Structure 1
């Protein structure tokens, strides 16, 4: 699964920097150990700072999951950047975003970070903790009857900041003054328990497991674990002993108290409870660390190692207990997740490589290949051929013209199998710089990302998944790719018709619609080039009949009458240009007119009426009409074997699926009527063929999964 390790170290990326600054930082070596340990567990891991850019980074790394796909998860190491509630910042953001994370929630961190509130909760639960008082300022009176020596420490800090033993009133006031001036917060004063210090780390939830207690042996100097000790600045080495040399009764007692404390504060996944044990063997709870250190010398890591759990095993154990908490006990159950069938393996293979899929899409999108760009098209074609060759596909010379259309097939051949149809050109002329590739939570943007690149990526991903499972060679599959979508397939349609006649069915990798809808009906289109020529006229001269431009515009206005929503036919002017001499009126007008339709007879009738409309309007005027492209429609069929199989697999793996009709003509129209065909199998798009073209992000993996399932075998 995808795991984002989130920490705070260097970044101070916030809108304003003020207030209490965080003094706690994870070392780079610890972050590296966690990352490498998670990778050993088979996870895809990235690290991020827990700053204001976190939301965008997580959106980019772990988009919304599809049904049945394991979601992304955050391994939270974040102590926050600033503020008294800094431990709560990242967990609060993650809960807002709906992202599971390792560790306790913001409410638990709020309780554990406030040592006074923690002690009050412990007392309410009847759990032993040293007697205490709170001094707001250095001169605040100490009203509680406490016995020296005492411990002073900041009320809301961790890592032993400001921790000190005081033996009399003067030392007490000096310690409180230092804390007040350094941390600007009240001081917790509690009775010092002379004896031994023991830590108990905990892992799990329901039930939570207490690890063997760890005793801290301080040697010379103060018998407390100071900040200087933790940072190796005290000049002494604090020895850890695990299991702590306690009696069986004492061991069980501190472990039981640790579990009760864990539950009292509603901790999750892991924590550490610190104890002092007096000379009579009575344990006292000092505090709760709701983010137990994963540093190599921390008590949690030390105790886990004594149980035979190395670092990689420990961090992956934390992932397991977190997933169990969020998704149930059977989430990692081997039987429920055992991949028994090819379909199961394909689903897992593709849903666990989403990041690589998006990287692949980016690499294709960054290759420009507009329809008029011969060099760019050649680069894309060569790269696609290299990829197909690596998948052990071979070119089919009789179904390739080498200029605008190419067909490749698996070892089992195309005949009687499935033909995937993929455009490699991006229609339209480039104006300015191309739109750069970028990702949002739901959409991915880039030049041709929906009209071409998503289809290429989806097809290759499905084929590679089949090859990795050693199933591709035996599937009857072909790939037809062409380079003149922007020209209406003027040169490649005949070759596609020939290739499609070899196949049992055809899937066209053009954009579909959101919610997993493919296209089972598309209108056909015909494009006409019209030229009208007349004599040049002076501006302002009264002429009868009208000059050629005015006459032409009058005729185009009548085209609207040829359109009918009810009859599913539309006639429109797509482009118009004029030529003139100096200040004279235009003497030549050229235009492109498009007709979209479902009924061939209606299209022919519209063509005849259009020819009548553009007959010369006066003596000396000439008109020419030429059909430049003709793309037949894709019509709905009552019984559709492709849709039936796709629906089967979509239901089996809870993938969104449906059908829709479209007004745009595509390569599907060139497929012979007797060959089952669907279109719109590439991810859904928006703003298609515009500079803001985008494809639906989640559908990239959804479509790859569904295509692989479809190709691998007939459903039972």
Structure 2
């Protein structure tokens, strides 16, 4: 499970810094102990400050979960940065974001921080608490009948800030004055209970478990636990005794009161209730710590140790009770049961290693390999081959040309199995600096992140999951990767056709569509390189024939007449360049014209019409037309057993799935017609082939999972 440990320590990243500042901080030693303890149980843990950047950081660390996946969880240690309601800030943000978290909700923290409200609630439920009064200012009269000595403390502070014993009216006014000046808050005044101080930690929910009571033995000085004591600045050592030397009846009584108090304030997961026990053995509830300290020297941790829970065990027990609260008491039994089947082991492998999957994607995206970049392509190829070697896969030499196409296979081979097809080049020429890799909640951006890198990461992750579960060697699968997608597979298509003919099915890892849609039909495409040459003409010369550029532009208007929605034919000019001498009109025009189609007979007819249209009968003007790429269409099949199997796997694991058609041609059209093939199996994209290209983040794990499940379920 992904766990974000959120705390407040150094950061003051807020829009404006003013108001009541937080004085409570966890030490780095404690934060690291919690982090290390959670990691021991296999959790993926990161730490974050609870400031205004928290939402962005959690979006990056915890993307939206897929059906059946454990969501991320926040281990909340945040006391807030500023404001009287600072305990509530992070829990409120997490509830807005829909992220489960350890500890009580904002409404509980609001009640527990306000000691006066807490005492009123306790009295309403018949729970014992010392008699009290509230003084708004040092001049406020004490009208209640309270007996000295008294305790004074801010009504909504923690960690014993401002706590002191006062023995007469003069000391009372002095204590209230200090609190008023320091905290700008009313003072809670309550009768001092002569006797012993006992803390009871609570762990769990409905009902919470009361830990063994801990007595605080103060030795010399005031018999209260001051701020200086807690911060080791008082010069004395406060001894902790656990279990507290109480009678069985007293122990049972304080435990019962602690649990009832926990319920009255609607606490969750863990808390601590502080008591004073008078000389007759009567307990009084002083306050509720809705965020009990998890410092190694705190009474909560000390009591847990007496039950046999070391620090890592306690931290993971807190996670367990939180998961039980959110997901039910049988959550762990269900997880244990699910892991018994290979399919659910694969599911757990992929969903618990989502961070590694995104790191895999980042690693590929940060390597530039445009189609014309021979060095970058070589780097990607060598890295890919190294990863495939580590997966115990081997080259299939008969289906590699060593220049633009390579095929690797498992120990079982890919004959009569599944062939994965992945481009390693990023189509298009470099026009500026590479687009940096960055993540948002739903989208990941970067150069070629969708057009190439998503397919690489998806296929490798699926194969790695099978390898981790010792399933890969028996799976009949091959991976065909090629480096000329940007050239329309001019050099690799023949090798793909040969390799695909050996497989039972082909999956092309080009970008799909949102909601899990793959592509079952794509248009074919042809590209033509056109050169027009003529005599150079002077600007403004009326009696001479039109120049070659003007002539070509006239023809482009007539090309529109070749388009037919009914016949699914489209003709478009993709690029035009001209050459001229000095101030003369252009004497040469070069252009790239694209033709997309479904029906090959219609494409042939349109090509004939296009050649006729661009043929020049004018003296001195010549036209040259060369077909530079041809990519056949992927045609929809009436009976598609590959799609049916994928649909069944998706439904069984509640993964989104569907089909869509696409105007963009891909390698899928090269697959022989009798071999079932799907395209668009890589994660969905937006702004494809542009500087803002992005990959759908949730579909990265969804596609990897579906591919791994399909490969494992498709063993022959």
Question: Any idea what the Cα deviations from partners look like across 1:647-705, whole Å, max 9, x if unmatched?
Answer: 11111111111111100000001100011100000000000011111000001110110
Deviation at 1:33, TM superposition (A): 0.8
Aligned to 1:48: 48
Q: For the Cα contact (< 8 Å) 1:480–1:496, is it kept in 2? A: yes
Task: Please tell me whether residue 169 in structure 1 is matched to residue 169 in structure 2.
Answer: yes
Q: Where do residues 578-597 of structure 1 align in structure 2 (5 Å cutoff)?
A: 578-597=578-597
Using the TM superposition, give the Cα deviation of residue 25 of structure 1 relative to its aligned residue in structure 2, in angstroms: 0.3
- How far residue 336 of structure 1 moved from its aligned partner, in angstroms, is 5.5
Q: In 2, distance between residues paired with 1:97 and 1:340?
A: 33
| Residue in 1 that maps onto 2:529 | 529
Shift of 1:11: 0.5
Q: Distance in 1 between matches of 2:549 and 2:52?
A: 58
d(CA) in 2 for partners of 1:446, 1:41: 34
Is contact 2:207-2:259 (8 Å) kept? Answer: no
Equivalent residue of 1:300, what SS? Answer: helix
Q: Distance in 1 between matches of 2:558 and 2:544?
A: 20
User: How far is the alpha carbon of 1:325 from its aligned partner?
Assistant: 1.0
State how far apart, in whole Å, the 2-side matches of 1:306 and 1:617 are: 100
**Per-residue CA distance 1:479-513 (angstroms, 9 max, x = gap):** 10000000000000000000001111100010000
Asked if 1:256 corresponds to 2:264, the answer is: no
Alignment partner, residue 689 of structure 1:
689
Give the equivalent residue in structure 2 for 1:127.
127
Is 1:608 aligned to residue 634 of structure 2?
A: no
1:213 and 2:247 equivalent?
A: no
SS at structure 1 position matched to 2:324: helix
Instruction: Please tell me whether residue 233 in structure 1 is matched to residue 230 in structure 2.
Output: no
Residue matched to 1:275 = 275
Contact 1:205–1:268 under 8 Å retained in 2? yes
Other-structure match for 1:647: 647
Once residues 496 and 525 of structure 2 are traced to their aligned partners in structure 1, the CA distance between those partners, rounded to angstroms, is 17
> What is the alpha-carbon distance in structure 2 between the residues aligned to residue 321 and residue 64 of structure 1?
23
Paired residues of 2:21 and 2:82 also in contact (CA < 8 A): yes
Alignment of 1:53-72 (within 5 A): 53-72=53-72
Cα deviation 1:452-505 (Å, max 9, x = unaligned): 011000000011111111111111110100000000000000000000011111
| Structure 1 CA distance for aligned equivalents of residues 533 and 603 of structure 2 | 26
Deviation, 1:613, is 0.6
- Residue correspondence of structure 1 range 188-587 to structure 2 within 5 A: 188-333=188-333, 337-543=337-543, 545-587=545-587
Q: State the Cα deviation string for residues 260-310 of structure 1 (Å, max 9, x = none).
A: 111111111111000001111111000000000000011110111000011
Distance 1:242 1:550 in 2: 96
CA deviations 1:585-631 (Å, max 9, x no partner) are 11111110001110001101110110111111411211111100000
Tell me the alpha carbon deviations over residues 206-259 of structure 1, each in whole angstroms, 9 at most, x when there is no partner: 121111111111111111001111111111111111111111111111111111
2:627 corresponds to 1:621:
no
Task: Provide the rounded CA distance (Å) in 1 between the counterparts of 2:346 and 2:569.
Answer: 42
Distance (Å, rounded) in 1 between the aligned partners of 2:19 and 2:683: 47
> Using a 3 Å threshold, how does the CA distance of structure 1 residues 532 and 543 change in structure 2: closer, same or farther?
farther
Per-residue deviation at 1:543?
Answer: 3.8
SS at structure 2 position matched to 1:332: helix
Deviates more, 1:561-570 or 1:73-82: 561-570
Is the CA contact (8 Å cut-off) linking 2:511 and 2:683 kept in structure 1? yes
Instruction: State whether residues 330 and 336 of structure 1, in contact with CA within 8 Å, keep that contact through their aligned partners in structure 2.
Output: no
Distance 1:129 1:287 in 2: 9
Q: Quick one: distance in 1 between partners of 2:597 and 2:530?
A: 20
Partners of 1:362 and 1:337 lie apart in 2 by 34
User: Alignment partner of 1:592: what SS?
Assistant: strand
Residue in 1 aligned with 2:26? 26
Q: Deviations over 1:107-153 (max 9, x none)?
A: 10011001111111111111110000111111111110100000000
Kindly indicate whether the alpha-carbon contact (under 8 Å) linking 2:475 and 2:715 is maintained by their aligned counterparts in 1: no
Q: CA–CA distance in 1 between the matches of 2:432 and 2:476? A: 43
For residues 388 and 492 of structure 2, what CA distance do their matches in structure 1 show?
Answer: 20
Distance 1:137 1:337 in 2: 61
Aligned counterparts of 2:644 and 2:529: Cα–Cα separation in 1: 41
Q: Is the 8 A contact 1:38 1:312 kept in 2?
A: yes
CA contact (8 A) 1:459 1:707 kept: yes
Cα distance in 1 for partners of 2:38, 2:503 equals 45
Q: Which runs of 5+ in 1 are unaligned?
A: none
For residues 206 and 466 of structure 2, what CA distance do their matches in structure 1 show? 40
Shift of 1:327: 1.2
C-alpha contact (below 8 Å) 2:570/2:596 kept by paired residues: yes
| Local SS of the residue matching 1:333 | helix
- Structure 1 distance, partners of 2:375, 2:299, is 62
In 2, distance between residues paired with 1:530 and 1:174? 94
8 Å Cα contact 1:458/1:682 also seen in 2: yes
C-alpha deviation, 1:534, in angstroms: 1.2
Deviation by residue 1:44-100 (Cα, 9 ceiling, x = unmatched): 000000001100000000000000000000000000000101000000110111100
Match of 2:185 in 1: 185
What is the deviation of 1:636? 0.5
Counterparts of 1:242 and 1:433 in 2: how far apart (Å)?
64
**Partners in 1 of 2:335 and 2:603 — Cα distance?**
59
TM-score by length of structure 1 reads 0.99
CA distance in 2, matches of 1:663, 1:278: 82
How far 1:337 moved relative to its partner? Answer: 3.6
CA contact (8 A) 2:405 2:483 kept: yes
Residues in 1 aligned to 2:565 and 2:355: alpha-carbon distance in whole angstroms? 43
- Alignment partner, residue 5 of structure 1: 5
Aligned residue number for residue 156 of structure 2:
156
Gaps of 5+ in 2: none
TM-superposed deviation, 1:163: 0.5
Aligned residues of 1:545 and 1:617 also touching (Cα < 8 A) = no
CA separation in 2, counterparts of 1:61 and 1:616? 61
Q: Does the 8 Å contact 2:474/2:715 carry over to 1? A: no
Q: CA deviation at 1:324?
A: 1.1
How much has 1:544 moved relative to structure 2?
5.2
SS of alignment partner, residue 502 of structure 1? coil
Q: Is the 8 A contact 2:530 2:626 kept in 1?
A: yes
Distance (whole Å) between structure 2 residues aligned to residue 141 and residue 52 of structure 1: 42
Q: What is the match of residue 669 of structure 1?
A: 669
Task: Tell me how far 1:517 sits from its aligned partner.
Answer: 0.5
**What CA distance in whole angstroms lies between the structure 2 residues aligned with 1:334 and 1:668?**
40
The count of corresponding residues between Structure 1 and Structure 2 is 716
Displacement of 1:335 after TM fit?
A: 6.7
Alpha-carbon distance, 1:715 to partner? 8.6
Aligned mates of 2:683, 2:656 — CA distance in 1? 12
Secondary structure of the 1:153 match is strand
